[in-house]
Amino acid sequence: MSEAVRRAEYLEALGIDDWVLRSAHPCAATVPVAPEPGPVEPTGPVVSAPPQPAGEAGVPEAWEQLRAQVRACTACALHETRTQAVFGVGNRRAEWMVIGEAPGAEEDRRGEPFVGHAGQLLDAMLRAIGLSRETNVYIANILKSRPPGNRDPRPEEVAACLPYLHRQIALVRPKLLLAVGRIAAQTLLGTDAPLGRLRGRAHAFGEHNVPLVVTYHPAYLLRSPGEKRKAWEDLQFARNLFAQIRNPEPNDGHRS
């Protein structure tokens, strides 16, 4: 099955034509072609990830210890208002990791990231590039506790919570990070650059230079459906970058 047909099937089966291609059938050649990813370059300052211990993704004790720490955490005031901490979900050995901002009301109630309306759109977006939380992606947030009224995270809350995400990244050891939304992108990259300037290129996260791609938050896309096309470009960019990471161009034999 060709890539185009596979993509069209995902788009159609999951209603993604509804989120990105309102005017044309997905098979039509109207899907914008994402630029070919260039080399991964650190865009400093980059938040350092902790050293990546080898092969810990399969160590249940490490995960259970971390999960217990997060559940019991009182490091910021959000523990007073949350229903429960929202840890993360997905394949702990995934090659892709998606990072969002913070749990919303539904996530706070159910204890799983991205299960509200934005989560449904995120699932559809991921499905369009062959990813799902059931099989091959791990999803986590910058904050593990819901900010009341879904306000932006405060710096002290991010500072208190970020080590947990760093530990999750170190355990999963993803090949590619997808930051959804301004807060996740700016936090992971240690920048206040606007999201529009962070899209469309490969960043590098942490001391292991994990490739990181930025796209819009699905909640923003629900409010601004006109931007869905750009999000689709970002996903294609990420998918192309991942393909390059998995299968680097063979050396042509010439020495420089």
Give phi and psi for 97, each to the nearest 5: -130, 130
Are 172 and 93 within 8 A, CB to CB? Answer: yes
CA dihedral (36, 131, 152, 41) positive or negative: negative
List the one residue from 100, 147, 174, 211 that touches ligand URA (CB under 6 A).
Answer: 100
Q: How many C-beta neighbours within 10 Å does residue 227 have?
A: 15
**Residue whose entry in the numeric block shows the structure tokens 């005031």:** 77
Judged on CB neighbours under 10 Å (0-12, 13-18, 19+), 181 is buried
Q: Which of residues 136-195 bind ligand URA (CB under 6 A)?
A: 141
Query: Which C-beta is closer to ligand URA: that of 104 or that of 174?
Result: 104
Query: Which C-beta is closer to ligand URA: that of 180 or that of 241?
Result: 180
Decide if residue 96 touches ligand URA (CB under 6 A).
no
Q: Can you name the residues that pair with 177 across neighbouring β-strands?
A: 97, 212
Decide if residue 215 touches ligand URA (CB under 6 A).
no
Radius of gyration of the chain (CA): 18
List the one residue from 20, 70, 118, 178 that touches ligand URA (CB under 6 A).
Answer: 118
**Distance from C-alpha of 2 to C-alpha of 19, rounded to nearest angstrom:** 22
List the one residue from 40, 87, 94, 101 that touches ligand URA (CB under 6 A).
Answer: 101
Query: Which C-beta is closer to ligand URA: that of 114 or that of 240?
Result: 114
**Distance from C-alpha of 207 to C-alpha of 15, rounded to nearest angstrom:** 38
Query: Which C-beta is closer to ligand URA: that of 160 or that of 180?
Result: 180
Stretch binding ligand URA (CB under 6 A), from 2-10, 101-109, 162-170, 246-254: 101-109
Give phi and psi for 179, each to the nearest 5: -95, 120
Residue 178 carries which DSSP code? Answer: E
Decide if residue 49 touches ligand URA (CB under 6 A).
no
Q: Indicate the residue whose CB is closest to ligand URA.
A: 100
Query: Which C-beta is closer to ligand URA: that of 31 or that of 143?
Result: 143
Give the count of residues interacting with ligand URA (CB under 6 A). 12
Query: Which C-beta is closer to ligand URA: that of 119 or that of 211?
Result: 119
* Residues near ligand URA (CB under 6 A): 100-104, 107, 113-114, 118-119, 141, 219
